């Protein structure tokens, strides 16, 4: 480990990895460049926005049998949200990256770039490219800006530095083509993972997060809408893209001062089965309903999607349709072949057939979301089914996501949210109209006469007709 003095304030700055070329002074935020034994002051780098990630500098774990330690971090922001890239130093001297976005994680390392890679401007979401290990499907393509950093990094970066990246997926595998340094990209490959799978140690607990941020991770806070002043419940750092339920203004709460992105008009009251802020007890965890939106297709069919979050888990959607309720979760492992244009896909060796292909548009939204959402946004949806399980690919020009949905009974939803049972029809004579009684009695008479009808057809039919005539006459007389 190399330790140098900060050129700005004199505080010690450590370089633990030989691959690190710069580090951020913990005391004055100066970026220190290591070059041929000398150090240079590259100016100050902004502090990262507190996003309540449990990861921190010094977190350790194991991936593929290799131990690692987190030694650096850059925070990147793009049009629809933000994410962290944690720089890893492996025990064997290698290095890699841990992507951290809304509780979903990927681990990657640099690999040789095969021939046939596309130009950044020609990369298209949903297209497939061979990266030397089979065809990968482009999941997103974006230009992001660095808004903060910590610790050591393997390249020079500062405020305003831009990353041009395209992410690709193949089953559980993950890859990134990074065009930040020019037209020839750097290839990083790896896979999706979880903190538990990585056996992470030295994660920040609730008390450590509260000490640095002033509040607990995952605790819903209230923010006054800068446009109309109405309170909005949200998760700071986790779901900071807000839509005011009162005035429909879109708000970016991921900045020191909440910014109104687009002032909306006073929103009409939209009836919802579940209310924003409601808490569901699912298993042994409390899930907060933090966002809701309505979507519709070109045929006018509408449904409602509710976003739920728990501090110890990931986001998931509860979808209310005319056919019932569905629980939908974003997939880390993609089906094969991964492209929504395929007539069939397979997940965990189970085949799903495409059944629906339609455009969907957001018609209304309110609450907090982990990406920027607004009325009018459109995606193309392709659904694949096997039994009662459905896979859905949602795609626009910037992103492709896959999710899996399973049905949830109405009684189960009511139990989760402690909702009252639906009203039942009254019982007794008043519950049945005279016509209902008439036809029920008629059916009873037909059944009663069915057996003798077989043995004495003519006589039975005569008496049956007379009885039916008398029945109708009596009912009509009572009605008058």
Spatial neighbors of 100 by CB under 8 A, at least 6 apart, are: 53, 55, 83, 84, 85, 86
Q: pLDDT band for 41, please (50, 70, 90 cuts).
A: very low
Structure tokens at 212: 């640095």
Greater pLDDT, 470 or 303: 303
Q: pLDDT band for 417, please (50, 70, 90 cuts).
A: very high
Most confident stretch, 125-134, 135-144, 212-221, 441-450:
135-144
Pairing relation of β-strands 250-252 and 241-243? antiparallel
Sign of the Cα torsion 204, 207, 211, 215 reads positive
Tell me the DSSP string of 246-295. TT--EEE-SSSS-EEEEPPPPPPP---SS-TT-EEEETTEEEEEEEEEEE
- Whether residue 441 is predicted with pLDDT greater than 80 in this model: the reply is no
Dist. CA 389–CA 345, nearest whole Å: 13
- Whether residue 229 is predicted with pLDDT greater than 60 in this model: the reply is yes
pLDDT at residue number 75? 87
pLDDT at residue number 157? 77
pLDDT at residue number 39? 40
The ranges assigned to domains in the chain are 2-193, 218-417, 429-479
- Whether residue 180 is predicted with pLDDT greater than 70 in this model: the reply is yes
Phi, psi of 216 (to 5 degrees): -80, 150
* pLDDT single digits (tens) 5-27: 666 666 666 555 554 544 566 66
pLDDT at residue number 81? 77
- Whether residue 55 is predicted with pLDDT greater than 80 in this model: the reply is yes
User: What is the arithmetic mean of pLDDT over 106-131?
Assistant: 93
* pLDDT single digits (tens) 374-404: 778 899 999 999 999 999 999 999 999 999 9
Q: pLDDT band for 256, please (50, 70, 90 cuts).
A: low
Q: Token pair 């979050």 is at which residue? A: 309
Of 128-132, 358-362, 458-462, which range is least confident? 458-462
The widest CA-to-CA distance across the chain, in whole angstroms, is: 118
pLDDT at residue number 193? 94
Of 74-88, 122-136, 460-474, which range is least confident? 460-474
Q: Token pair 């292909």 is at which residue? A: 357
User: What is the arithmetic mean of pLDDT over 315-344?
Assistant: 94
pLDDT at residue number 265? 46
Task: List, as own/partner pairs, every contact residues 297-300 make where C-beta atoms lie below 8 angstroms and the sequence separation is at least 24, other chains included.
Answer: 297/358, 297/359, 297/360, 297/361, 298/358, 298/359, 299/358
pLDDT at residue number 134? 87
Greater pLDDT, 444 or 344: 344
Rounded mean pLDDT of the chain? 79
Q: pLDDT band for 139, please (50, 70, 90 cuts).
A: very high
């Amino acid at each position: 480990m190399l330790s140098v003095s900060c050129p700005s304030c004199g505080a010690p700055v450590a370089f633990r990895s030989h691959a690190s070329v710069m580090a951020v002074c913990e005391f004055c935020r100066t970026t220190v460049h290591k070059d041929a034994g000398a150090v240079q002051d590259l100016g100050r780098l902004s502090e990262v926005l507190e996003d309540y990630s449990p990861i921190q500098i010094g977190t350790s774990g194991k991936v593929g049998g290799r131990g690692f330690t987190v030694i650096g971090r850059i925070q990147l922001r793009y049009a629809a949200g933000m994410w962290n890239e944690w720089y890893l130093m492996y025990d064997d001297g290698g290095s890699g990256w841990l992507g951290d976005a809304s509780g979903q994680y990927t681990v990657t390392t640099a690999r040789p770039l095969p021939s046939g890679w596309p130009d950044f401007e020609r990369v298209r979401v949903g297209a497939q490219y061979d990266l030397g290990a089979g065809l990968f499907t482009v999941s997103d393509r974006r230009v992001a800006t660095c808004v903060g950093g910590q610790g050591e990094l393997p390249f020079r970066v500062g405020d305003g530095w831009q990353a041009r990246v395209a992410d690709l997926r193949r089953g559980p595998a993950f890859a990134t083509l990074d065009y930040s340094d020019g037209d020839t990209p750097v290839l990083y490959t790896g896979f999706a993972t979880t903190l538990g799978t990585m056996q992470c140690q030295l994660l920040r607990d609730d008390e450590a997060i509260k000490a640095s941020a002033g509040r607990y991770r995952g605790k819903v806070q209230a923010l006054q809408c800068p446009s109309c002043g109405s309170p909005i419940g949200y998760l700071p750092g986790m779901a900071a893209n807000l839509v005011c339920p009162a005035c429909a203004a879109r708000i970016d709460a991921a900045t020191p001062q909440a910014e109104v992105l687009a002032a909306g008009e006073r929103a009409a009251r939209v009836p919802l089965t579940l209310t924003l802020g409601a808490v569901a007890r699912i298993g042994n965890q409390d899930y907060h309903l933090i966002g809701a939106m309505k979507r519709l297709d070109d045929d006018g069919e509408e449904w409602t999607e509710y976003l739920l979050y728990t501090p110890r888990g990931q986001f998931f959607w509860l979808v209310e349709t005319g056919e019932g309720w569905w629980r939908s979760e974003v997939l880390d492992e993609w089906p094969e072949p991964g492209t929504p244009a395929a007539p069939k896909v397979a997940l965990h060796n189970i085949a799903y057939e495409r059944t629906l292909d339609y455009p969907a548009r957001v018609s209304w939204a309110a609450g907090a979301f982990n990406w920027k959402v607004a009325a009018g946004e459109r995606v193309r949806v392709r659904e694949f089914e096997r039994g009662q399980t459905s896979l859905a690919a949602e795609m626009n020009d910037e992103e492709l996501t896959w999710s899996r949905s399973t049905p949830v009974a109405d009684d189960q939803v009511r139990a989760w949210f402690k909702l009252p049972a639906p009203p039942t029809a009254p019982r007794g004579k008043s519950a049945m109209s005279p016509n209902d009684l008439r036809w029920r009695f008629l059916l009873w008479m037909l059944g009663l006469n069915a057996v003798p009808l077989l043995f004495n057809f003519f006589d039975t039919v005569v008496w049956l007709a007379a009885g039916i005539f008398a029945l109708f006459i009596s009912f009509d007389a009572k009605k008058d």
